[in-house]
Amino acid sequence: MSTRPQNVKGMRDHLPQAMMLRQSIQATMRTVFERYGFEPLQTPIVEYAETLEGKIGDDEKLIYRFETEGGRRFALRYDQTVPLARVVAQYQNQLLFPWRRYAMGQSYRGERPARGRYREFWQADVDIIGSASPLADAEIIALLSDVLAALGFTGFTTLLNHRQIIGGIARVAGLPEAQAGGVYRAIDKFDKIGAAGVRDELLRSGIAADAVERIITLVSLDGPTDGVLDELGQRLADDARAVLAITNLREIIAAVRAMGIAEARIAVAPRLARGLSYYTGAVFEAVVADPPMGSLLGGGRYDELIGLFAGRPIPTVGLAFGIERLHDVMTELGLGPQQRSVAQAFVTIFGAAQRAASLELAQQLRHAGIAVETALDAGERLSRQFQHADRRGVPLALVLGPDELAAGTVVVKQLASGQQQTVARAGLIELIRQLHATAGPDGR
RNA sequence: GUGCCUGUAGCUCAAUGGCAGAGCGCCUGACUGUGGCUCAGGAGGUUGUGGGUUCGAAACCCAUCAGGCACCCCA
């Protein structure tokens, strides 16, 4: 190995500062997921290539594949939904449905990396497997609202649509199924290129002008949830599947309201198309206006995918949080824990004569549940030890010198302010906890 | 996968074909029980990498790697 050290393109190293945020994101999610009764599941990153092939459509070229000497073909998972389908099929007789499970882990896609998009990325998936009830959809939407709120987001909106509303729009415009895919892709860009841009794109793809206008009118619908649904109901009244879809959305929204989700948090958006490859019912995603970032999460109902593996229909609704995007956006917004160090206190070593006593003090604190970093060089000047602790972002430095040892006390110095106090050993743990509890927003 | 932009010290950036620099950061000391401030001094570069053009390349050309932006698609 003489080459320069270099991480693989599109795959990130997460240094401690970033990891503290990532771990807090995951811990927050785990707490909320379990509060909604979801159980953890973990599956291997590697699957047999055949398991993944034929499930996600044209994007199969993005799957990382490799082959062993013996000719076994493997693939890195592309998402956590297909592995879920495999697990459901494989352990059908051990699982109780409806089954709520969550999974956090990395997936891999050979895409061109960009901001908020990486070749290795973590997702947190939650799914309710084996229920067609609109209450299941509503549970997922309520959960995602709680997760985003718990992470500190205040300005997010969950956009809702339904696969059969989009399908109905295409059908009402008189488009054959073959042309529908292009229409979906065009209208999904609505937020990016606007109504005029979508109109241009549709016209350029050869769709008749009057059909284009009908589509634009429908996908431009915006405003209060019930108003949009009423309007859709009138304009799509001739399409039976769309009518059912609208009823379904009304049921979901009624349940979401019953769960107390604020009206401002949700919006019916006929322009939301998403990757429609396996979605069959409601689809949703959450977006923040500032900073601009693609969707933070996306999901929907897919009643057929798991059946491909299980051999019988298993209706499922779920979503995936994009941990990379949450991480990037939260970093830009300054959300999440601001602490720079996991350690709450730094135990200095005054000199060789106090080394043993300092180590003993550190252990005493650790066993009391306080995260402690110690100095490692008894010969280092105290000033250097303070400097090191402060640079590391440890809020407190403890000094156990000859005077303190003689008096049975410890000096506790708050590095941010420089204030220090001398406390009896008996009161030390209480003082540290107190200072930690009253620490400012930067953990100090 | 396609197109465009960028890459110089740890970081942010100068130097437009002619001696590789600044600010911040870092190290040492002033300061042997107290970091940040101040002052003095110091270290740090294969100009992403490889090739080419040229008397001479950080600069121009080609390739490659990495990052960003727009497509495509998505978390």
* Confidence at A360, pLDDT banded by 50, 70, 90: very high
What nucleotides of chain B have any atom within 7 angstroms of a protein Cβ? 1-3, 26, 31-36, 48, 65-75
Q: Is the pLDDT of residue A152 over 80?
A: yes
Residue A444 confidence (pLDDT): 44
Nearest residue: Cα versus C1' of B67: A114
Per DSSP, A346 falls in state: E
The more confident residue out of A37 and A176 is A37
A391 touches strand B (CB under 7 A): yes
**Share of residues in chain A with pLDDT > 70 (%):** 95
DSSP-derived secondary structure letter, A7: P
Residue A384 CA, nucleotide B29 C1', distance (Å): 14
- How many other C-beta atoms lie within 10 A of the C-beta of residue A214? 18
In this structure, what DSSP letter does residue A373 have?
E
pLDDT above 50 for A2: no
**pLDDT single digits (tens) A103-134:** 999 999 988 888 788 999 999 999 999 999 99
If you average pLDDT over residues A342-362, what whole number do you get?
Answer: 95
Q: What is the pLDDT of residues A193-206, one digit of tens each?
A: 888 888 888 888 88
Strand B: which of residues 100-159 in chain A lie with Cβ below 7 A?
Answer: 109-119, 121, 123
**Residue A150 confidence (pLDDT):** 95
Cβ contact A192 with chain B strand, < 7 A: yes
Q: What is the ipTM score, two decimals?
A: 0.85
Q: How confident is the model at residue A58 (pLDDT cuts 50, 70, 90)?
A: low
A235-271: per-residue pLDDT in tens? Answer: 999 999 999 999 999 999 999 999 999 998 999 999 8
Does A297 contact strand B, using a CB cutoff of 7 Å?
yes
Strand B closer than 7 A to residue A85 Cβ: no
Name all domains of chain A by residue range, CATH numbers in brackets. Answer: 16-333 (3.30.930.10), 345-437 (3.40.50.800)
Residue A57 has pLDDT above 70, yes or no: no
Task: Give the least confident one: A5-9, A170-174, A265-269.
Answer: A5-9
Q: Which of residues 206-265 of A touch strand B (CB under 7 A)?
A: none
Task: Give the closest nucleotide to A185 (alpha carbon vs C1').
Answer: B73
Summary mean pLDDT of chain A: 90
The token duo for A185 is 């892709």
pLDDT at A172 > cutoff 50: yes
Residue A23 in this model has a pLDDT that exceeds 80: yes
pLDDT at A332: 80
Beta strand spans in A71-148 (E): 73-76, 99-108, 120-129
Distance CA A52, CA A55 (A): 6
Q: What is the pLDDT of residue A442?
A: 46
Give buried/exposed letters for A74-113 (b at 16+ CB in 10 A, else e): bbbbbbbbbbbbbbbbeebeebeebbbbbbbbbbbbeeeb
Res A441: pLDDT: 44
Q: Write down the pTM of the prediction.
A: 0.91
Residue numbers 393-432 of A with CB closer than 7 A to any atom of strand B: 399, 401-404, 411, 413, 415-418, 420
Which pLDDT value is given to residue A27?
96
Residue type for A222, please? D
Model pLDDT, residue A240: 95
